[in-house]
Amino acid sequence: MSILTQESSQQSFLSAFLTAGCDSVAHALRKSFLAAIWFVFLTFPIMVIRVNTIENTVVWRWENMAYIAISIFFGSYIWRWLLARKEIKKDESKEETRFEGLLTQVQTKPVLKYAALGVIALIAIAFPQVVDLYQTNIMVSCLVYVVLGLGLNIVVGLAGLLDLGYVAFYAVGAYAYALCNMHWGLGFWYALPLGAVLGTLLGVLLGFPVLRLRGDYLAIVTLGFGEIIRLVLENWGEVTMGPSGISRIDRPEFFNMKMSIVDSTTYMYYIMIGLVIFTIFFVNRLQNSRIGRAWLALREDEIACQAMGIDKMKTKLLAFALGATWAGMAGVVFAAKTSFINPASFTFWESAIILSIVVIGGMGSIRGVIAGAIILVLLPEYLRDFAEFRMLLFGAIMVLVMVFRPQGLISAKRKIYKYEASNTASAGNE
């Protein structure tokens, strides 16, 4: 009896798999067939034709065409099944995945929470001791992106302002340190607050005129500003050294001690860990404050917000400037880490990556942004084995995340003010 029910459930699974998102088996067959044809057509020029430039002959690789047709034909079944499953899931539960449920559980139970934090801390501390220089170096740049992501998260995730020129503030921080170091030998630890202050100032300066705009318009104007900063850096040769950049920037010193490159990278790593912790603390507190509340309200309804006495301009400007502060600091660290900067490091591509970190990780979610940074920065590194397919895979993963988890890897969970008889606002999550 039990075997029979199992069999029938298997049968129903199979039929569900075969007809997912379609009316009938025939319909599904036709869809898959069309998809296969379409992909064969799309990939024909790159997968089938190969020109041998030495012998001036064309090699026709028909077998590739067959591989593509077959894999797309079956792949489309899986794709439709996944999409259908996602639809069912959406109806069933309130979009909390098993992973997120686990996270919530870990956070609500103090024992688990501290255990998890301890494990993370231990891994973070031990990391540079265990792995080699290359890995530590990658991790440092990953942490720089975590800080950048968390900074942009204030602007995009919390205040809902789409900023495509975030890299401008990053560049300002980096150049501030590089130039001060070159001319006056200013040390890293003095440059870090200087970068933060300059970032803030520029944020206010740029924010003032552009924050009258909303949504797409704001995005375009910030994009323009980002490019302007880069072009200034590129063309103002007397000051910025132009496209050739500035080299031999000092790495951070530790009580004037000379350090080997390995030690110095390890030191950099710990500095970044500290900065990340500081940033998380800062953003978290900010989010759960009067200001964070105002940002949320502003994101939801600007007119109502103003009618309730919130100064729109001031509130937005604050978000913009605070975001820029972190970009400025990250810039200083970047300059110190690479010890060479030029305008090519601050292109629009960089802004796009930082924004992707925020969006893919989960807007407004600190854990999400960290996850996003780790994936988006480390993935291309570890995908180096796949050589020329690296960026293709990277793009495919981004598309997949957006199809299956449009709210980001770890969606934002806000601390909700709850009124309880004990007259305190108690924390929910995050």
Residue 247: CB atoms within 10 Å: 13
Distance of CA 84 to the CA centre of its chain: 27
CB 295 within 8 A of CB 161: no
Nearer to other proteins, 231 or 425 (CB): 425
What one-letter code names the amino acid at 314?
Answer: K
Nearer to other proteins, 65 or 291 (CB): 291
Q: Interface residues with other proteins (CB under 8 A)?
A: 282, 285-286, 289-294, 296-297, 300-301, 303-312, 318, 322, 416-419, 423-425
Counting Cβ atoms within 10 Å, is residue 405 exposed (0-12), middle (13-18) or buried (19+)? middle
**For residues 320 and 297, what is the distance between their CA atoms, to the nearest angstrom?**
16
What one-letter code names the amino acid at 14?
Answer: L
Smallest separation (angstroms) from other proteins to the CB of 325: 10
CB 401 within 8 A of CB 158: no
**For residues 306 and 302, what is the distance between their CA atoms, to the nearest angstrom?**
6
Smallest separation (angstroms) from other proteins to the CB of 296: 7
Smallest separation (angstroms) from other proteins to the CB of 404: 23
Nearer to other proteins, 147 or 375 (CB): 147
* Residue-wise DSSP of 354-417: HHHHHHHH-TT-HHHHHHHHHHHHHHHHHGGGGGGGHHHHHHHHHHHHHHH-TT-SS-------
Nearer to other proteins, 223 or 283 (CB): 283
Smallest separation (angstroms) from other proteins to the CB of 331: 21
Smallest separation (angstroms) from other proteins to the CB of 147: 16
Phi-psi region of 250 (alpha: psi -120 to 50; beta: other; left: phi over 0): beta
Smallest separation (angstroms) from other proteins to the CB of 374: 26
Nearer to other proteins, 228 or 304 (CB): 304
Smallest separation (angstroms) from other proteins to the CB of 84: 28
Using DSSP, state whether 347 is helix, strand or coil.
Answer: coil
Nearer to other proteins, 52 or 423 (CB): 423
Nearer to other proteins, 63 or 311 (CB): 311
Instruction: Give the pair of three-digit tokens for residue 416.
Output: 């909700």
Place of tokens 């969006």: 359
Nearer to other proteins, 75 or 428 (CB): 428
Smallest separation (angstroms) from other proteins to the CB of 272: 20
> How are the residues of the chain apportioned to helix, strand and coil, as percentages rounded to the nearest 5?
75, 5, 20
Can you give 162-197 as a three-state secondary structure string? CCCCCHHHHHHHHHHHHHHHHHHCCCHHHHHHHHHH
Nearer to other proteins, 282 or 394 (CB): 282
Angle at alpha carbon of residue 380, lines to 138 and 339, rounded to 5°: 35
Smallest separation (angstroms) from other proteins to the CB of 196: 13
Smallest separation (angstroms) from other proteins to the CB of 245: 34
Nearer to other proteins, 185 or 309 (CB): 309
Q: Which of 176, 139, 430 is nearest to 324 (CA)?
A: 176
Nearer to other proteins, 19 or 279 (CB): 279
Sequence-separated (6 or more) residues with CB below 8 Å from residue 204: 317, 320, 321
Using DSSP, state whether 257 is helix, strand or coil.
Answer: strand
Smallest separation (angstroms) from other proteins to the CB of 368: 17
